[in-house]
């Protein structure tokens, strides 16, 4: 069953003037608008589709439009053969008829009801005993059946999160919408809940739309990623494809490619299939080898290198295919939860992702000299 979304909605305040009376959903305006036009189209198959992007890019508005909480200005939303919204045909089903499960960022659990009562609240056409048994089964599926008779204030944040997931599934929805559901919990609990979600999704195979601006969540949970920027979709595909090889500089920034530098082509080597680029930042300058392209010597470019593609070594790497080998010094080591990020100066400031185990085994610390190594094809020339 496929979820199809094709909607337009003006976001923010838009003050009309005489010059803008004719402005429409084309996105034109008189320059006196504090918002932007959400104009997106995508399809989501059973499985987890990530809506990824900065805060305010239109992700939550998209979820609320699918659920029926907000009404788009124009467009169509359908799940399989069932139309939820169609502006041309004047179809706008109420929330209760859409078959949507929704987990809000703030969870929105009823504070005066127990966990079991919260889960049972969304069940209809079911007897009291059946509602109770079904609610307990759902709580058990998320490993929180022990909270059944407790109110939200009496359970932990991670437990409340699991109760909210159970409640979203209580009505037997056809799609599940999750709006940054794990943003307020610790890393260990987050990883455990993600594991449960993946297991549950293998069983149910619903279209799940998951909003986040965490690259780690998107990489761990998503089967497909759609990148939002100012109300537009600027990239989509498998997580590894989108995060590892961004085409646009804006996508590189959004997806957390930590090494992004302006540069200039200083030499081309057609026979070897490479070009030399001098890159720079506030720390200084550096030369790297990038794949051969159409750019000419002297042309300005922007180079991105994913932090996960950079290897750290204590001695200069030998006998390797990595064309870029740079000596540098560690300035900072940051724990990012599932990964560790090392900052290294070598002309410019580089950032490399590694594990805590690697940090310990190599005895890495600020001030230590290391070597950076990465392949030519780890360097991407980006479009603005």
Give me the domains of the chain, ranges plus CATH numbers.
3-99+173-253 (3.40.50.300), 260-381 (2.40.50.100)
Beta strand 82-86 pairing with 91-92: antiparallel
Query: What pTM value is reported for the model?
Result: 0.74
CB 208 within 8 A of CB 200: no
- Residue 33 is predicted with a pLDDT of 42
Cβ neighbours of residue 285 closer than 8 Å, sequence gap 6 or more: 278, 279, 347, 348
pLDDT in tens, 206-233: 899 999 888 778 888 888 999 998 899 9
- Residue 14 is predicted with a pLDDT of 44
Q: Which helix (H) or strand (E) holds 286?
A: strand 284-291
* CB hemisphere CA count around 318 (13 angstroms): 1
Q: How many whole angstroms separate alpha carbon 256 and alpha carbon 338?
A: 14
- Say whether pLDDT at 17 is over 70: no
pLDDT in tens, 318-349: 888 899 999 999 999 998 766 799 999 999 99
- Residue 240 is predicted with a pLDDT of 80
- 35 backbone dihedrals φ, ψ, rounded to 5°: -120, -155
- Residue 36 is predicted with a pLDDT of 83
pLDDT in tens, 119-142: 998 787 777 778 889 999 999 988
User: Which pair of tokens denotes residue 7?
Assistant: 């909607």
């Amino acid at each position: 069953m496929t979820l199809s979304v094709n909607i337009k909605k003006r976001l923010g305040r838009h003050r009309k003037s005489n010059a803008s009376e004719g402005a429409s959903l084309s996105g034109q305006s008189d320059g006196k608008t504090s918002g932007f036009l959400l104009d997106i189209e995508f399809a989501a198959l059973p499985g987890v589709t990530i809506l990824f992007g900065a805060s305010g890019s239109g992700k939550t508005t998209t979820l609320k439009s699918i659920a029926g909480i907000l009404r788009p200005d124009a467009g169509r939303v359908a799940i399989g053969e069932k139309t939820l919204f169609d502006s041309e045909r004047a179809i706008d089903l109420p929330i209760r008829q859409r078959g949507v499960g929704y987990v809000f960022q703030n969870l929105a659990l009823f504070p005066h009801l127990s966990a079991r009562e919260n889960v049972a609240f969304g069940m209809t056409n079911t007897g009291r005993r059946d509602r109770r048994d079904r609610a307990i089964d759902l709580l058990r599926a998320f490993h929180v059946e022990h909270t059944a008779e407790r109110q939200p204030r009496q359970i932990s944040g991670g437990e409340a999160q699991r109760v909210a997931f159970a409640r979203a599934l209580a009505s037997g929805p056809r799609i599940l919408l999750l709006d940054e559901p794990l943003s307020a919990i610790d890393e260990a609990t987050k990883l455990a809940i993600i594991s449960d979600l993946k297991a549950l999704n293998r069983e149910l195979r619903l279209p799940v739309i998951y909003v986040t601006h965490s690259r780690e969540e998107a990489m761990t949970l998503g089967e497909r990623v759609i990148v939002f920027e100012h109300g537009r979709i600027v990239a989509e595909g498998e997580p590894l494809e989108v995060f590892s090889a961004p085409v646009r500089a804006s996508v590189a920034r959004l997806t957390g490619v930590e090494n992004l530098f302006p540069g200039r082509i200083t030499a081309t080597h057609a026979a070897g299939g490479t070009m030399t680029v001098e890159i720079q930042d506030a720390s200084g300058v550096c030369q790297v080898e990038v794949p051969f392209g159409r750019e000419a010597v002297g042309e300005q470019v922007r180079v991105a290198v994913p932090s996960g593609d950079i290897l750290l070594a204590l001695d200069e790497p030998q006998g390797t295919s990595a064309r870029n080998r740079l000596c540098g010094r560690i300035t900072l080591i940051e724990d990012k939860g599932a990964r560790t990020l090392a900052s290294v100066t070598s002309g410019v400031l580089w950032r490399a992702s590694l594990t805590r185990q690697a940090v310990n085994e190599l005895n890495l610390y600020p001030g230590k000299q290391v070597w950076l190594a990465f392949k030519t094809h780890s360097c991407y020339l980006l479009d603005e």
